[in-house]
Amino acid sequence: MKVKKICLLLALLSAQLTAMASHPEFGEQPKLVVGIVVDQMRWDYLSRYYDRFTRDGLRRMIDGGFSCDNCLINYLPTITAIGHTSVYTGTTPAFHGICGNNFYIDGNKTYCTSDTTVDVVGTDNQKKGRMSPRNMLSTTIGDQLRLHTDFESKVIGISYKDRAAILPAGHSATAAYWLDTKNGQFITSTYYMTALPDWARQENKRLKQNRELQKVGEDIGRYPLCGTITTDMAIAALKGERLGRGKKTDMLCVSYSQTDVIGHEWGTRGERTDAAYLQLDKDLGRLLRALDEQVGRDNYLLFLTADHGAAHNYQFMTDHKLPAGKWRDPDMRNGVEDYIAKKLGNKKAVVSAEIDYRYFFDRKAISEQGLDLQQVKEAAMEYLRQAPHVCFVVDYEHAAQQALPAIIRDRALMGYHYRRSGDLLVVTEPGYYTYGKWSSPVGTTHGEWNPYDAHIPLLFYGWKITHGATSREVHITDIAATVCQMLHIQQPNACTGEVIVEVMK
């Protein structure tokens, strides 16, 4: 009996010491924070591919890290630029203002990171390079880290996509680099610098000499190699900038975008998608080994998540007798216009755009024709409610008063910015999604509230992280709050997320 009591006491003491060792002491920080976003990664991919993952990549994070198994996106729509911004700001479009990849600002169509006040660095492709984070209204984890250390910390963003490098890194970032696929080179803008650093030029030179990698921009079938290129650049930045080897904590933000391109083209199932995630796993293994070598296995705090998930291809679903389908025909917007004109008698078009299940109305055209905006919206809502496979049509300005399920109302409001988000939001039946230029007939897309779009992976690994998991509902906006708490720095200035306390136990 005494032996059992002694064993029990030792076990309790060991657990307490482990908890004490894992919980960050006040003021204690890792040498490096690494944020990884995998574009279009569904949560169930972790279990789907687990047995095929190597022990060096995602399986290492799962087996040795902490998994939040019920991490949800808490706004609408679920789109790439919004997801990346929400991860690092800890808030939603209502506050950070990035309301899509493309949206309107006071009536002017805007790409999320476009900035005509800057010039490209590293290529002559001005269209690809005139970018900055200026359209983002709030700060990020990296901004807060830089503020906390009097801007001694280095913060760098890297991705194939410009928005996936720029928005995570933040306003005060040391640098952000993205790929010009036309020239097969990593570039940046004068927002950050006037010339690429030597290590980046050397990486571009190496990339240019590798004809296999150069073909990525020419052949979508080679897009898994985008992950390899992104990893190479991340490792080059790690070494070239000596990240994690200075006096202050640094941050590296890496986004893998090839998975999104492949998903839109080939869907959530099949050899192409399988190959993309197995290659991603190998690339993540290389990145982890580089972090071990350059920074030290216990000296970096890493998190991995996604900006959104994806629906299964509607034809795949119907082939297996499951409800799904194509929601929007190419002439849906024309149908809305015709119905409004028939009902209100206007001669000039009043719909500026239909983007990501949202309708943007042209206030100038409405005013010039003596129309009332609310009447225009109500006419459009009448038409859309009659359309097949529509569950709800949300009038953003009156969402709080509409008869809507709480989950739709709350997510619509958290995704709504008065001057940027448009006027109406369409919520489709489960399995039905917009079919357009971003998806092939065998591919897929994303954007809605449903678990396939909104349930994303969230893994924490490394410094002060002990193995475990929680099934408690947490949100994409909780990531920034948790990382900042672990670093003992202030949260981003519009953060609405809450600390995931289980990660710190």
The model's pLDDT over 445-457, given as tens digits with 9 standing for 90+, comes to: 999 999 999 999 9
* Residues 458/304, Cβ–Cβ less than 8 Å: yes
Residue among 78, 80, 444, 445 flagged as catalytic: 80
How large is the average pLDDT for residues 71-75? 98
pLDDT on residue 11: 42
- Mean pLDDT lowest among 179-193, 263-277, 324-338, 470-484: 324-338
pLDDT on residue 22: 55
pLDDT on residue 126: 75
Amino acid letter, residue 14: S
Give 123's pLDDT tier (boundaries 50, 70, 90).
Answer: confident
pLDDT on residue 302: 98
Give 398's pLDDT tier (boundaries 50, 70, 90).
Answer: very high
pLDDT on residue 220: 56
Q: With a cut of 90, say whether residue 68 has pLDDT above it.
A: yes
CA dist 359 and 333 (Å) reads 9
How large is the average pLDDT for residues 229-256? 97
* Residues 440/321, Cβ–Cβ less than 8 Å: no
Q: With a cut of 50, say whether residue 244 has pLDDT above it.
A: yes
pLDDT on residue 128: 80
Q: With a cut of 60, say whether residue 422 has pLDDT above it.
A: yes
E strands, 408-475, are: 424-428, 432-433, 455-456, 458-462, 468-470, 474-475
Give 441's pLDDT tier (boundaries 50, 70, 90).
Answer: confident
pLDDT on residue 216: 62
CA dist 224 and 256 (Å) reads 10
How large is the average pLDDT for residues 393-414? 97
pLDDT on residue 204: 94
pLDDT on residue 438: 58
pLDDT on residue 21: 45
Give 124's pLDDT tier (boundaries 50, 70, 90).
Answer: confident
Return the closest-CA partner of residue 456 out of 48, 58, 69, 59. 69
Beta-bridge partners for 325: 432
Give 439's pLDDT tier (boundaries 50, 70, 90).
Answer: low
pLDDT on residue 498: 98
Average pLDDT over the chain reads 92
Q: With a cut of 70, say whether residue 436 has pLDDT above it.
A: no
* Residues 226/179, Cβ–Cβ less than 8 Å: yes
pLDDT on residue 58: 98
pLDDT on residue 376: 97
pLDDT on residue 215: 62
- Mean pLDDT lowest among 10-24, 125-139, 238-252, 326-340: 10-24
Query: What distances in angstroms separate CA 378 from CA 178, 239, 370, one per listed residue?
Result: 42, 57, 16
pTM, full prediction: 0.93
CA dist 451 and 72 (Å) reads 8
- The pLDDT tens digits for 334-373 are 999 999 999 999 999 999 999 999 999 999 999 999 999 9
Tokens of 379: 């006419």
Give 47-50 contacts, CB < 8 A, sequence gap 24+.
49/274, 49/277, 49/278, 49/281
CB atoms inside a 10 Å sphere around CB 363 = 16
pLDDT on residue 183: 83
Query: Is 123 considered catalytic here?
Result: no
pLDDT on residue 181: 81
- The pLDDT tens digits for 179-233 are 998 888 999 999 999 999 999 999 999 988 876 666 665 555 566 778 999 999 9
Q: With a cut of 50, say whether residue 9 has pLDDT above it.
A: no
CB atoms inside a 10 Å sphere around CB 3 = 7
Return the closest-CA partner of residue 144 out of 89, 71, 204. 89
Beta-bridge partners for 159: 178, 255
Q: Which residue has the tokens 């005494």?
A: 2
Q: With a cut of 60, say whether residue 393 has pLDDT above it.
A: yes
Number of residues that make up the chain: 505
How large is the average pLDDT for residues 411-429? 97
CA dist 258 and 276 (Å) reads 8
CA dist 463 and 160 (Å) reads 27
3-state secondary structure of 301: strand
pLDDT on residue 184: 84
> What is the percent of the chain where pLDDT is above 70?
91
CA dist 221 and 357 (Å) reads 29
